[in-house]
């Protein structure tokens, strides 16, 4: 009798352990499923990211995959977040190229038409209805200023732009270097790891943990000390001048977004 009771008790324990294991596996799967559903409702895709980037060995950085689109983000056959372009450029067409990083790619907005390059295109068409315009948004999320030069040379220049508008507020390389020198920043930056490419749950969890950690670090340590002259000695001014000179050699009109006035200014390098 005791043996039978012991056998039943052991069987019950195994069932509870098995149930606990199944629960531990199902809970993350359910969370992942709910997050993917939210992703679909918001962006029209079940993928971890609403857009897909692929490493280009010639450029040395990731660029949008041509033709890969979701409901919110449509990438044309040339890899730009903008309408298809006629190749070669039609006669009497004014082609406007936008150059920048995530703030120009506008990955968070609801559609291509909601990006600020698209709104500039509509404003140009409205102001000069007798002219023919088209545009390309060549921006790449997380691209650096030095990488924008390659983006300009190899992806934008062949499209024969007449106007190049640059919004590249990439001071992060210089400010990060200052932060490292002052002991405020250590370790690798924004390295999501392989798991984040497969799990939306892990991707979001990792981003929020990193944000919480950095906020706690800011509260418990001194702030970054810098002045304009320190940044003037960094790489940003030199790289921006090089980008502007190169853009000017490609298109007759070059403009940069002026953050202090929230407008666009023509520049002459």
Q: Does residue 9 carry a pLDDT above 70?
A: no
Query: pLDDT of 40-74, one tens digit each?
Result: 666 665 555 667 889 999 999 999 999 887 778 89
Question: How far is residue 267's CA from residue 269's CA, in Å, rounded to a whole number?
Answer: 6
Domain residues of the chain, as ranges?
1-42, 53-173+226-266, 185-220
**Among the listed residues 99, 87, 94, 166, the one whose alpha carbon sits nearest the alpha carbon of residue 137:** 99
> Span 178-195, mean pLDDT?
62
pLDDT value, residue 95: 98
The CB density around residue 162, as the number of other CB atoms within 10 Å, is: 16
Q: Provide the pLDDT confidence category of residue 125 given band limits of 50, 70 and 90.
A: very high
Q: CA-to-CA distance for 133 and 97, rounded, in angstroms?
A: 11
Q: How far apart are CA 108 and CA 67, in angstroms?
A: 19
Question: Would you state the pLDDT for residue 257?
Answer: 84
d(CA 174, CA 167): 17
| Mean pLDDT on 121-126 | 96
* Token digits of residue 22: 């199944």
pLDDT, tens digit, for every residue of 74-85?
A: 999 999 999 999
Return the closest-CA partner of residue 145 out of 168, 164, 165, 167: 168
Q: What is the mean pLDDT of residues 131-145?
A: 93
Q: pLDDT-based confidence at 171, cuts 50/70/90?
A: low
For position 14, what pLDDT does the model report? Answer: 72
pLDDT at position 21 is: 77
Cα 137 to Cα 74: distance, rounded to the nearest angstrom: 11
Q: How far is CA 65 from CA 53, 93, 113, in A?
A: 6, 26, 19
- CA torsion angle for 188, 194, 197, 200 (degrees, to 10)? -80
> 194 pLDDT exceeds 60?
no
Instruction: Please compute the mean of the pLDDT values over residues 119-127 and round it to a whole number.
Output: 96
The pLDDT assigned to 129 comes to 95
Q: Which of 167, 146, 40 is nearest to 103 (CA)?
A: 167
Options 3.30.1380, 2.40.50, 3.40.50, 4.10.280; CATH for 53-173+226-266 is: 3.40.50
> Given pLDDT bands bounded at 50, 70 and 90, which one contains residue 199?
low
Percent share of the chain, pLDDT over 70: 59
Q: What is the pLDDT of residue 37?
A: 65
**The pTM is what?**
0.71
């Amino acid at each position: 009798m005791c043996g039978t009771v012991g056998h039943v008790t052991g069987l019950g324990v195994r069932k509870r352990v098995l149930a606990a294991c199944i629960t531990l596996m199902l809970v993350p799967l359910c969370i992942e499923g709910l997050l993917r559903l939210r992703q679909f409702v918001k962006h029209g895709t079940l993928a971890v990211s609403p857009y897909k980037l692929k490493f280009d060995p010639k450029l040395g950085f990731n660029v949008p995959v041509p033709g890969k689109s979701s409901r919110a983000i449509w990438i044309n056959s040339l890899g730009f977040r903008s309408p298809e372009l006629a190749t070669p450029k039609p006669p009497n067409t004014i082609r406007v190229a936008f150059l920048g990083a995530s703030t120009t790619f506008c990955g968070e907005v609801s559609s291509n038409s909601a990006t600020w390059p698209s709104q500039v295109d509509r404003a140009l068409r409205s102001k000069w209805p007798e002219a023919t315009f088209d545009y390309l948004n060549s921006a790449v999320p997380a691209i650096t200023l030095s990488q924008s030069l390659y983006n300009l040379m190899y992806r934008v220049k062949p499209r024969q732009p007449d106007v190049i508008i640059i919004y590249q507020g990439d001071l992060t390389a210089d400010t990060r270097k200052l932060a490292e020198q002052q002991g405020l920043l250590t370790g690798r930056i924004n390295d999501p790891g392989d798991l984040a490419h497969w799990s939306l749950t892990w991707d979001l969890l990792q981003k929020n943990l990193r944000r919480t950690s950095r906020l706690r670090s800011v509260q418990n340590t001194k702030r970054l000390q810098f002045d304009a002259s320190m940044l003037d000695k960094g790489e940003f001014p030199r790289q921006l001048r090089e980008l502007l000179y190169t853009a000017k050699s490609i298109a007759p009109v070059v403009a940069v977004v002026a953050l202090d006035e929230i407008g666009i200014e023509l520049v002459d390098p």
